[in-house]
Amino acid sequence: MSDVALPARIALVGNPNCGKTALFNALTGSRQKVANYPGVTVERKEAAAVTPAGLRVQLLDLPGTYSLRARSLDEEITRDIVLGRFAGEEAPQLLVCVADATNLRLALRFVLELKRVGRPIILALNMFDIARHRGLDIDLARLAGELGIPVVPSIAVRRGGTSDLLARIDAAITAQGGLPASANIWHEPSAAELRETQRTADRILAATVRAPHTADTLTRRIDRVVLHPVGGLVILLTLLFLMFQAVFTWAQVPMDLIKSGFDGLGGFINSALPVGWVRSFLADGVIAGVGSVIVFLPQILILFLFILILEDFGYMARAAFLMDRIMGGAGLHGRAFIPLLSSFACAIPGIMATRVIDNRRDRLATILVAPLMTCSARIPVYTLIISAFVPNRGVWGGFSLQGLVMFGLYAAGIAAALGVSWLLRQLLWRREPTHPFMLELPDYKRPVARNVALGLWQRVKMFLHRAGTTIFMMMVAIWFLCSVPQPPADATQPAIEYSLAAKIGHAMEPVLRPVGFNWQIDVALVPGMAAREVAVASLGTVYAVEDGDEHRDQLGHILSTQWTLATALSLLAWYVFAPQCASTLGVVKRETNSWGWMLFLFGYMLALAYGAAFATYHLALWFGAG
């Protein structure tokens, strides 16, 4: 080894569902750097690691694919990096091809294709424990001989389960001649070539793997229930419903704790500092503002916990299967289900996840409706208003009324998404034939706590980062607008009436008066463009500053005395549709590569929001909720 200073670049490639990310987690732990590839929003996961022999290596986790033929943007990244074509990214010196040991057929064809690239390859047979448990007898030496590359077993989820792989990586790097690259003779295979390669793979498989005569009966038994045409849909809806009930009930205790923590901190500042600018800034701006956003962390965590566990379990592909035809009726592709479900957490990862949809029109339709799914940033606003205006009592034996209203808001978002995509298809893409829906349904696996925890941790970091940067800066800006200029000495009205914020709010009032918003709401909507949940924090600031009360009551209590029910419902309706959060608009612009589609999205959502709020407000007034 001559270039001892530079860590060897190793890339992990493999079919979807082969446990590649679990293996990457096992090899690198939590030292991962998660970023985006320049110019695109495909997640780039990289980590430095040290092998048992003390060699530094740089590991890259590439998007899963069945071939280098790259049918989607995700797969293009894998192809371009493996082939060394990706600008600004050096080609990996060693490929670790990860394969599910229980499902080798397609993986072996992919290995044979990868060999043509001319890079050294190690084949890691992942989930080797499950394969052995099922009675699969894999002749590793013979497989290595047939393929002409090293083959090692690996168990990503067990301590020490990667030692064979690490030893083999060490051996490859320290071998005489290092990591030799031969000529790249890969070209896009024709159908005949693919067939030929699959035949070779099947021959190797037959010679090296002896399988018992039973398939994974557990997966089959679960699928018989979960994929039942009617029962499966009932189960899917029940799961979603339980998920949202859990978001509300489980999160209550930690939320109360966080809330009292921030309240205590604010009280401490108020008692420790003299009345003035600094105290107002710290207590009303920083602590009250950031606190009112952090308090929703438990709910966001619970939502992601469900999504991550279901994904790890293997259920998400089944959900796409169950939903394909139903969403197809609305002009959406079955694969759009997972991006849309992710949009319940945040539209940005949801829109990024549309990269797995290979067809441009299907992808565009999904991007345009993803922001209608109720993202977690809306939760703070919904929770605040629901807890202030909807009585907390049980209905229909155990369900909370508040949970039901929340479910209704989610349902409204889903219905709107389906309606809009149906209209898009009717108006814009009427004559286009449909693109195929093809998806592997992996065997069920027990979710691994470590992988779920790591995924959750990455979400927490993202959320806290946002709370600490974007949201914090917006809070400071809002506090400034609410506190400047100071009221005159002979002021007769609350201080905020004299502030810049009041001027903005009053300026917007004529436009938003017909939907029942007061100027305090109008003020809160402006920073809501940076991040939806900031609207709650700004309402907190607006009302806290207005009260000037050291022992201010819960914001919800203030709202329930200041707003009518009609106004509250109207704001809920507005929030279902409003085109908010500048980051989402930015991602849409980047992903569609068009200002036109971004403006289209903004325009149609604004129109829906105004219309829905208007209708809700006037219906509520008509029913006497004024």
Least CB distance to other proteins at residue 191 (A): 5
Least CB distance to other proteins at residue 198 (A): 5
- Report which secondary-structure segment, H or E, holds 610: helix 595-622
Q: Is 126 helix (H, G, I), strand (E, B) or coil?
A: strand
Contact with other proteins (CB under 8 A): which of 184, 200, 270, 359?
Answer: 359
Contact with other proteins (CB under 8 A): which of 105, 203, 465, 513?
Answer: 105
Least CB distance to other proteins at residue 121 (A): 19
Structure tokens at 414: 């889903």
Least CB distance to other proteins at residue 234 (A): 11
Would you count residue 222 as binding other proteins (CB under 8 A)? no
Sorted by sequence, the CB contacts under 8 Å of residue 536 that are 6+ apart come out as 292, 293, 380, 381, 384, 524, 555
Q: How does DSSP classify residue 513?
A: G
Would you count residue 190 as binding other proteins (CB under 8 A)? yes
Comparison of 232 and 528: residue with beta carbon closer to other proteins: 232
Beta bridge partners of 138: 209
Contact with other proteins (CB under 8 A): which of 10, 23, 322, 531?
Answer: 322
Least CB distance to other proteins at residue 230 (A): 6
Comparison of 356 and 542: residue with beta carbon closer to other proteins: 356
As a whole number of angstroms, the distance between CA 223 and CA 237 comes to: 16
Q: Looking up tokens 């200029």, which residue turns up?
A: 485
H helical segments located in 513-594: 519-528, 534-547, 555-562, 565-577, 582-592
Contact with other proteins (CB under 8 A): which of 34, 257, 438, 449?
Answer: 438
Sorted by sequence, the CB contacts under 8 Å of residue 31 that are 6+ apart come out as 47, 48, 49
Contact present, 64 and 18 (Cβ < 8 Å)? yes
Sorted by sequence, the CB contacts under 8 Å of residue 414 that are 6+ apart come out as 372, 373
Structure tokens at 422: 């149906």
Contact with other proteins (CB under 8 A): which of 29, 52, 135, 329?
Answer: 329
**What is the bridge-based pairing of β-strands 151-153 and 394-395?**
unpaired
Would you count residue 76 as binding other proteins (CB under 8 A)? no
Least CB distance to other proteins at residue 156 (A): 20
Can you give the three-state secondary structure of 35-56, one letter per residue? EECCCCCCEEEEEEEECCCCCE
Rounded to 5°, the CA angle 125-126-128 comes to: 85
The piece of 49-57, 316-324, 541-549, 576-584 that touches other proteins (CB under 8 A) is 316-324
Comparison of 197 and 376: residue with beta carbon closer to other proteins: 197
Comparison of 71 and 142: residue with beta carbon closer to other proteins: 71
**CA separation, residue 565 to residues 29, 386, 391 (Å):** 50, 10, 12
Comparison of 131 and 572: residue with beta carbon closer to other proteins: 131
Contact with other proteins (CB under 8 A): which of 439, 539, 568, 612?
Answer: 439
| Amino acid in position 95 | L
Comparison of 199 and 446: residue with beta carbon closer to other proteins: 199
Name the residue among 560, 522, 557, 561 with its Cα closest to residue 542: 522
Would you count residue 233 as binding other proteins (CB under 8 A)? yes
Would you count residue 198 as binding other proteins (CB under 8 A)? yes
The piece of 40-48, 52-60, 197-205, 395-403 that touches other proteins (CB under 8 A) is 197-205
Would you count residue 108 as binding other proteins (CB under 8 A)? no
Sign for the CA dihedral angle at 538, 539, 545, 550 comes to negative
Comparison of 436 and 624: residue with beta carbon closer to other proteins: 436
Comparison of 14 and 150: residue with beta carbon closer to other proteins: 14
Contact present, 538 and 291 (Cβ < 8 Å)? no
| Site residues (CB under 8 A) for other proteins, limited to 536-595 | none
Name the residue among 104, 435, 69, 461 with its Cα closest to residue 300: 461
The piece of 120-128, 215-223, 376-384, 452-460 that touches other proteins (CB under 8 A) is 215-223
39 dihedral zone (left: phi>0; alpha: psi -120 to 50; beta): left
Least CB distance to other proteins at residue 44 (A): 25
Comparison of 411 and 441: residue with beta carbon closer to other proteins: 441
Would you count residue 215 as binding other proteins (CB under 8 A)? yes
Q: Looking up tokens 């979960």, which residue turns up?
A: 226
Q: How does DSSP classify residue 343?
A: T
**CA separation, residue 492 to residues 355, 507, 543 (Å):** 57, 22, 17
Comparison of 401 and 441: residue with beta carbon closer to other proteins: 441
Contact with other proteins (CB under 8 A): which of 164, 223, 284, 311?
Answer: 223
Q: Looking up tokens 């060394």, which residue turns up?
A: 84
Terminal-residue alpha carbon distance, the chain: 79
| Amino acid in position 208 | T
**What is the bridge-based pairing of β-strands 8-14 and 33-36?**
unpaired
Would you count residue 128 as binding other proteins (CB under 8 A)? no
The piece of 18-26, 32-40, 224-232, 587-595 that touches other proteins (CB under 8 A) is 224-232
Would you count residue 325 as binding other proteins (CB under 8 A)? yes
Structure tokens at 148: 């002409």
As a whole number of angstroms, the distance between CA 562 and CA 569 comes to: 14
Least CB distance to other proteins at residue 308 (A): 22
Contact with other proteins (CB under 8 A): which of 189, 254, 267, 447?
Answer: 189
The piece of 101-109, 171-179, 276-284, 478-486 that touches other proteins (CB under 8 A) is 101-109
Least CB distance to other proteins at residue 210 (A): 12
The piece of 74-82, 177-185, 337-345, 431-439 that touches other proteins (CB under 8 A) is 431-439
Q: Which residues bind other proteins (CB under 8 A)?
A: 66-67, 69, 71, 102-103, 105-106, 109, 189-191, 194-195, 198-199, 202, 211, 213, 215, 219-220, 223-224, 227-230, 233, 317, 320-322, 324-326, 329, 334, 359, 432-442
